[in-house]
Amino acid sequence: MKTLHQSPTDPAFVQNPYGFYETARSAGPFFLWADYGLVCTGKAAAVNAIFRDRRFGREAPPEKAPAIPPHLAPFYAVEAHSMLELEPPRHTRLRNLVLRAFTSRRIAGLSPDITGLTEDLIAGFPDGPFDLLTAFAQPLPVRIIARLLGVPEEMAPDLLRWSNAMVGMYMAGRNRETEDRAVAATEAFVAFMRGYVEERRKRPADDLITQLIAAEMEGERLTTDELITTCILLLNAGHEATVHTFGNGVKTLLETGTGPEALQPDRIEATVEEILRFDPALHLFTRWAYEEVEVMGQTFRRGDQVGLLLAMANRDPAVWDRPEHFLPARPVKPLATFGAGLHFCVGAPLARLELALALPILFARCPGLRLTEPPCYGDVFHFHGLERLLVTR
């Protein structure tokens, strides 16, 4: 197995990680990413197999659980109840409760909200150059997930601020300042959600939080801490990646000169899938091995960790024809973008719906939309998103 060196904070890598991915691909199914000390794969078949293999999981084996520094205790107290970080049986119970509320009918019922909010945001665009991220890509998903949960929309700026601070914990090169900011955001988020859950207990409403409370009260043993963490996870995951996906997607559509025909009703599904494949928002996800297991000639022992490079898997030439090209008419195939198996992203249908509804309206209302400066990606790996997207219409 080859060892490769690539700093995830190197400016050239931040702007274009795909060159490194192709170098890694030539090394074979697996390689050691020296900067992380992590065995990684971007081979689509291996990524998919590990996602679905119950001998791998998100939760660290007890003997590998890292010691938590006292100053990070509030952050990891919340993470301890996150279904994203848990395995069965706790994961099963939490996920089933969320899916009971996160039904396809409830998500489809958000269509008028997504359409109306899209129109409202576009109506507020200024005449000169502006940042499409702050004017559109950020407020749309955070306000939609707030409506779904039942959180007041006027909280959206706070939710964005807390979420941005918390996800800093997953970025390469984090420091004490990043950690302190994440802990402060966690404590503020928990305090708000604790008060809001109590309010919903007294005054139930037709929203996801009320449904989760009802499930708790019906003997599902969802604790208040689990409820708070689940709401924080849904708010963070429900918009963080979608913001980046909107930004990356609009950038790609504009840079490739993709015409309006790709956004027509009979083509939009394939175009959205190609956006999700071509330049996704999340690039690296990890799994722990729970027993000795071999994958494509690579042996993992209990306690070993493996990095799954989702964006690299989405450009595997064994799956995709001319994967380095943005081809919105290409046949739809399964992606690595939302994961697979037990931890497949519960918000995937909502993210797809938001993109499919909002992008055609955006380009129909702003047919002259164009970039006013070359877009620049932020130093946020293992996420991949723009610092800003300056456009004019």
pLDDT tens digit string along 253-271?
999 999 899 999 999 999 9
Of 33-37, 169-173, 188-192, 324-328, the one with minimum mean pLDDT is: 169-173
Confidence of residue 223 (pLDDT cuts 50, 70, 90): confident
Percent of the chain at pLDDT > 90 equals: 83
Residue 120 contacts by C-beta under 8 Å, 6 or more apart in sequence?
none
**Whole-number Å distance between alpha carbons of 384 and 310:** 11
According to the model, what pLDDT value does residue 219 have?
A: 65
Relative orientation angle of helices 268-278 and 348-365, to the nearest 10 degrees:
110
Confidence of residue 222 (pLDDT cuts 50, 70, 90): confident
Confidence of residue 144 (pLDDT cuts 50, 70, 90): very high
* CA-to-CA separations, 157 to 138, 314, 355, in angstroms, rounded: 10, 33, 21
Confidence of residue 218 (pLDDT cuts 50, 70, 90): low
Confidence of residue 238 (pLDDT cuts 50, 70, 90): confident
pLDDT in tens, 324-351: 999 999 999 999 999 999 999 999 999 9
Q: Residue 167 has which token pair?
A: 């996800």
According to the model, what pLDDT value does residue 366 have?
A: 97
Confidence of residue 100 (pLDDT cuts 50, 70, 90): confident
The answer, yes or no, to whether residue 216 has pLDDT greater than 80, is no
Give the domains, in start order, of the chain with CATH numbers.
3-392 (1.10.630.10)
The answer, yes or no, to whether residue 221 has pLDDT greater than 70, is no
Beta bridge partner(s), residue 278? none
The answer, yes or no, to whether residue 64 has pLDDT greater than 70, is yes
Mean per-residue pLDDT, 300-317? 98
Round the average pLDDT of the chain to a whole number and report it. 94
Query: CA angle, corner 284, sides to 177 and 147, nearest 5?
Result: 75
pTM of the model: 0.95
CB distance 279 to 244 below 8 Å: no
For residues 309 and 160, the model is more confident at 309
What sign does the dihedral 69-70-71-75 (CA atoms) show?
positive
* Residue 185: CB atoms within 10 Å: 23
Range 78-115 burial, b when 16+ CB lie within 10 A, else e: bbebbbbbbbeeebebbbebbeebbeeeebeebeeebe
Range picked from 147-161, 198-212, 356-370 for highest mean pLDDT: 356-370
Beta bridge partner(s), residue 40? 31, 307
